[in-house]
């Protein structure tokens, strides 16, 4: 298994960060790596998400985990590999929200070759997520 995490702490409330993450159809407002994204069904385990990464063909993911206000995860499978993206929120101190974006890749020996390309924008995406959530105040 190949794993990469990026973590950031912010003063933006956990509720606003969660609201931004749960609004999957609105991700293109802050996630610059996506040309389009659409949730097929409710924000619930089992629903499908169609994403078009910038300059690439659309991919489909399945929501595999939701813990309200705390954790969202989806999985994408292609060419024998499974990519599990998760977004976890916690409150390590009063007035602080910790965000962890994580990617786990299984099912392929080539993960260490393409995993870093997928995760290289995690810092930029997290900064944009926080900035967008801050506008919801």
Is pLDDT above 80 for 74?
yes
pLDDT at 30: 93
Contacts of 87-92 with C-beta under 8 Å, sequence gap 24+, read 87/21, 89/14, 89/17, 89/18, 89/21, 90/14, 91/14, 92/9
Can you read off the two tokens belonging to residue 51? Answer: 């994403």
pLDDT at 46: 98
Asked if the model's pLDDT at residue 76 lies above 90, the reply is yes
As a whole number of angstroms, the distance between CA 54 and CA 57 comes to 8
**CATH class entry, domain 2-134:** alpha beta
The helix-helix angle for 14-22 and 122-134 (nearest 10°) equals 110
Query: Could you report the per-residue pLDDT of 12-64, keeping only the tens digit for each?
Result: 999 999 999 999 999 999 998 899 999 999 999 999 999 998 899 999 999 99
Domain ranges of the chain: 2-134
Per-residue pLDDT band at 79 (split at 50, 70, 90)? confident
Contacts of 101 (CB under 8 A, 6+ apart): 5, 6, 7, 85, 86, 87, 122, 125, 126
CB atoms within 10 A of CB 49: 20
**pLDDT tens column, 84-113:** 999 999 999 999 999 999 999 999 999 999
pLDDT exceeds 90 at position 7: yes
pLDDT score of 137 more than 80: no
Task: Determine how many CB atoms are found less than 10 A away from the CB of residue 29.
Answer: 14
């Amino acid at each position: 298994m190949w794993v990469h995490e990026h973590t950031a702490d912010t003063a933006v409330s956990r509720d606003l960060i969660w609201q931004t993450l749960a609004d999957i159809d609105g991700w293109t407002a802050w996630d610059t790596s996506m040309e389009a994204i659409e949730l097929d069904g409710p924000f619930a385990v089992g629903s499908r998400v169609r994403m078009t990464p910038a300059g690439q063909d659309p991919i489909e993911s399945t929501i595999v985990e939701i813990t309200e206000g705390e954790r969202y995860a989806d999985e994408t499978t292609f060419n024998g590999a499974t990519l599990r993206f998760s977004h976890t929120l916690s409150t390590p101190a009063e007035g602080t929200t910790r965000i962890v974006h994580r990617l786990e890749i299984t099912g392929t020996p080539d993960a260490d070759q393409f995993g870093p390309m997928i995760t290289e924008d995690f810092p930029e995406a997290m900064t944009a997520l926080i900035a967008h959530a801050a506008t919801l105040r």
